[in-house]
Amino acid sequence: MGGDFGPRCIIPAVAHSLRLLPELDVILVGSPEPLQQLCSEYPLPADRVRFVYTSEIILADDSPASVLRSKRDASMRVAIEQVRDGLADGCLSAGNTGALMVLARSILGTLDGIQRPAIMAALPVSAKGCYLLDMGANVDCSAKQLFEFAVMGSEAVTELTGMQKPRIGLLNIGSETHKGSRQVREVSEMLRGCSDLNYIGHIEGDGLFQDQADVVVCDGFVGNVVLKASEGLAGYLQNEIRRALHSNLLLRLIAPVLRSVLRPVRERHDPGRYNGASLLGLRGVVVKSHGGANQQAFEAAIAQAMLASQARLPERIARRLALCRSDAS
């Protein structure tokens, strides 16, 4: 029940999703007051919704270390415990990302050989959606970790989008094989050796926006910087263009036309539309919603968590990792 808008955005999204998705059941974990109040405004089908009331909340500035030690009755922790105990098939949260990472890792555990989960999300810019991982969970990555990101990303994108054999690219500073950091050169060899993956080679920064690959692998430092830079630049440029259009009298007169023509572009690149970052490598489904997600965006994250749960994504990833590791070695 976290995020900038909390239950006020989440409950309408849940109500709408329950109408759209007949296979969805929901467990709402949080403080009783806002939940009961909102559920009287948006009546939910009693047979498909269960409430678990909690007394504590993890805040945006709680440090990951502190949430591990304290706040035993925080809604985020209790929601993850529902997954661990087999009472839920997946967990979705719009709260503190760092806290979600450490709690999920500590409560659910990671798959064999995985030290930390990776965060995968779609860049909110390309027409088709280009998935990038890691988005910031793993700052210094070994070649082995980058290889695992490729395998996990390939499996997850197949299950979430239905795309068979997604094209896997490795983010680098040149398309030539001798370029890049030691880790990147090393993982490139490993990926080339794995026949199970549709590895297409190096992708440069501009290639992220040119539909060159479906899944792009990089360390969490680079992924996080690229994601935020993209959001910052897209916002800046759209503002600049809006201001320029508004500076002209004729264009101000036809502002409604301009707005209606440009709205689809803005919406197509709305971070909310690509909402839902998957934490991959855990023994359970955990999806992170953007803190600033609106109702529509939160619904996208609900659908993503449902798809990942139905596909039993963690088990699939575990099998695929075992297969690819033996293939590459």
Question: What CA–CA distance (Å, rounded) separates 310 from 289?
Answer: 19
Q: Least distance to a second copy from the beta carbon of 105, Å?
A: 17
DSSP-derived secondary structure for 105-116: HHHH-B-TT-SS
Name the residue with tokens 């690219």: 169
Q: Where are the beta strands (DSSP E) in the chain?
A: 26-30, 49-53, 90-93, 118-122, 131-133, 168-171, 199-203, 215-217, 277-280, 285-288
Give me the phi and psi of 50, to 5 degrees please: -125, 145
One of 20, 60, 87, 233 touching a second copy (CB under 8 A): 233
**Least separation, in Å, of the C-beta of 69 and a second copy?**
16
Output the smallest distance, CB 157 to a second copy, in A.
Answer: 20
Residue 182 touches a second copy, criterion: CB under 8 A:
yes
- Of the two residues 20 and 139, which places its CB atom closer to a second copy in the complex? 139
How far apart are alpha carbons 161 and 108 in whole angstroms? 25
Neighbours of 147 (CB within 10 A): 27
For 227-278, the DSSP string reads HHHHHHHHHHHHHHHHHHHHTSHHHHHTHHHHHHHHHHHHHHT-GGGG--EE
Q: Which is nearer to a second copy, 87 or 241 (CB)?
A: 241
Nearer to a second copy, 47 or 140 (CB): 140
Residues linked to residue 216 through DSSP beta bridges, in sequence order: 132, 169
If binding is defined by CB under 8 A, does position 72 make contact with a second copy? no
Q: The tokens of 169 are what? A: 């690219």
SS3 content of the chain, % helix, strand, coil (to 5): 50, 15, 35
Q: Does 175 bind a second copy (CB under 8 A)?
A: no
The yes or no reply on residue 244 touching a second copy (CB under 8 A) is yes
How many residues contact a second copy, by CB under 8 A? 54
CB 323 within 8 A of CB 196: yes
Member of 209, 267, 319, 326 binding a second copy (CB under 8 A): 209
Q: Is 255 in the site for a second copy (CB under 8 A)?
A: no
Nearer to a second copy, 131 or 159 (CB): 131
Taking CB under 8 A as the criterion, the residue among 255, 261, 267, 319 binding a second copy is 261
The nearest distance, CB 234 to a second copy, in angstroms, is 6
Q: Which residue number, 46 or 249, has a Cβ lying nearer to a second copy?
A: 249
Selected binder of a second copy within 254, 255, 267, 315 (CB under 8 A): 254
Contact residue for a second copy among 224, 275, 289, 309 (CB under 8 A):
224
**Angle, CA 326 vertex, CA 321 and CA 329 arms, to 5°:** 120
| Residue of 20, 60, 87, 139 that binds a second copy (CB under 8 A) | 139
Sequence letter at residue 187: V
235 binds a second copy (CB under 8 A): yes
Interacting residues toward a second copy by CB under 8 A: 125-126, 136, 139-140, 171, 173, 180-182, 184, 204-210, 218, 220-222, 224-238, 240-241, 244-245, 247-248, 250-251, 254, 257-258, 261-262, 264-265, 268-269
